[in-house]
Amino acid sequence: MLRFDLPPVWSNVTRWEAFLTSVICALALWLTPWLMFILVVQAFLRGFVAHRADPLNGMWVSVFKSLNLAGKQENAGAKMFAAKLLFIGSAATLVLLMSGASIWTVPIYVLLVFSTLEWALGFCAGCWAYTLWHQARQSGT
């Protein structure tokens, strides 16, 4: 459901965070996959608590607002759903890595593609899926 009990998020801040997610995913592929732990923590805070619970989000909001670049405010519900998907993908990467599975890179590539779509084109796949899910729930299907 749409979350109106939480303050809205800033569009350009979430796009910047998606850019940083892409950078972390790329570094996880090239340097060390343990960097995905950063995304697990951030995605947990943003997805299951609130965006404001992530200290880095608060810092970026302050920076972007001071530069008058924060963008428009958006409902937090869809972005929280997208953060939950990021949490699942990041956690899956670490579980696969710890289990010795050679496919631990697959979730990283998926996250890299979707986070790049978010920051480069403004297309939030998690938000899109959230909207479809919400509409299906409303129609009873």
pLDDT tens profile 94-108: 999 999 999 999 999
∠ Cα 41 47 52 (to 5°): 85
Give the H/E segment covering residue 67: none
Q: What is the DSSP string of 93-106?
A: HHHHHHHT-TTTHH
The model's pTM: 0.89
Query: pLDDT tens string for the chain (141 positions)?
Result: 455 577 899 999 999 999 999 999 999 999 999 999 999 999 999 999 988 899 999 999 999 999 999 999 998 888 998 999 999 999 999 999 999 999 999 999 999 999 999 999 989 888 888 888 778 888 875
